[in-house]
Structure formats: C-alpha cells, structure tokens
Amino acid sequence: MGYLILYPTPSYGVGYLLTYNKNHMKKALLLAAFACAQLSAWAAPTWQIGPKYNITFSGGEVGGIFKTLKGTIAFDEADLNTSSFMVSVAVASINTGNALMNKHAKSADWFDAAKYPEIKFTTNKIVKSGTGYQATGTLELHGIKQEVSIPFTFKAAGKTAMFNGTFEISRTTFQIGKPSGEVSDKIKLVIAVPVTKN
C-alpha cells in the first residue's frame, strides 16, 4: 500500500496513486541509504587510543602525570572538517610520586575528584597551523568550561600514529587550589598519545 493518499483523480484512479506512492517511497529509501553511505565515506577515520600514552603536568615545584585517558578520536589530515576529539582524563588517576600529595590533589582544596571526577576536552574545530595542527574546543575542568586551543603534531606510519601536544592552563581560571609560591598559576601539560586506526 502507499504511504499517503491526498485525493483520488478521475484520470489516474486510486490504484495508480497507490502504486506511484509505493515506488516513490522505495526511491526515497534508496536515496537515504545512498546519502548515509556517502556520509560514512566522507567521515574521518577513527583511532583507538593505545595503552602507552603519557600526560605530564608541571608547575613550579609540583609535577606528575595522569594515568587514565579515554575517548574518541576521528582524524584525517586531508579532511580536518570531519575530524574531532572527545577525550577525558580521570582526576583520581593523578600521580605526583608522593602519596600524601596525591591525596591532597584529589581533595576539595584542589581538583575535588569526588565532585568533578573527569577533565573533558571536546573540539569544535581543528585547523592546520604551521608544521602541525591546532585543536580548539571546550575544556571542562573543576566544573568550569573554557575554550582553549591546543597545538599538536600528528605522525602516522601505516595504521599507527602518534599525537603530541604541549599547552598551558591557568589554575586561577579553573579555580584550582589557592595562590601559592610552590605551585605556579600556569600549569604546563605535555601529551603524547599513540593511536591505531580502527
């Protein structure tokens, strides 16, 4: 049966309209399937994050790493418009090399891991920049969202690749801790993420 009958016509009859509508629906479904296939072909390839990533932070006399990273990475050097990052870091995975300092960093005085368990970064655009790239998006940290731009490089070798990036954030902007001579306001982050193409 057809999907819509508006009115019968003396010249063609209801039966013709039913046949016409059925064929039209088939064509619409075929066009929709074709469009989905084209969109899939145009989408940037996705990359799985490898286990040997490294997220290092330093500021003043304090430094350490975050041990847990997860997320979705879609990246194509030839088509940055379809590329995107959506990643998160577990705050509780912080490791300064000192158990007492780790506990303090996770407390409400600093990152407040119980209330804000994740640091999230989601891109809204990725562009070419010099010999590398720049990812601009929303960084959500300590309950505060801020637009940041992260410069990075991408080195591929077959189905494996490496992302490397270095940038700074302000503790004041994200209201982390209190002003202190031991911990600078500017925190430097160095990121190295190996990936495998899915």
**The whole model's pTM is what?**
0.78
Q: How many CB atoms lie within 10 A of CB 192?
A: 15
Co-location of 83 and 179 in the same domain: yes
Co-location of 54 and 97 in the same domain: yes
* pLDDT confidence tier of residue 179, bands split at 50, 70 and 90: confident
Co-location of 82 and 28 in the same domain: no
Residues 6+ apart with CB under 8 A from 33: none
Query: What integer pLDDT is reported at residue 133 of this predicted model?
Result: 98
Q: Are 120 and 145 in contact (CB under 8 A)?
A: no
Query: What integer pLDDT is reported at residue 29 of this predicted model?
Result: 54
- Tell me the per-residue pLDDT of 109-130, one tens digit each, with 9 for 90 and over: 999 999 999 999 999 999 999 9
Total domains in the chain come to: 2
Region 31-37: mean pLDDT is 46
Q: Are 73 and 195 in contact (CB under 8 A)?
A: yes
Query: What integer pLDDT is reported at residue 26 of this predicted model?
Result: 62
Flag whether pLDDT at 139 surpasses 50. Answer: yes
Range of the structural domain that residue 149 is part of: 46-197
Co-location of 10 and 62 in the same domain: no
Q: Angle 76-84-169 (CA atoms, 0-180°, nearest 5)?
A: 120
At 1 the three-state DSSP class reads: coil
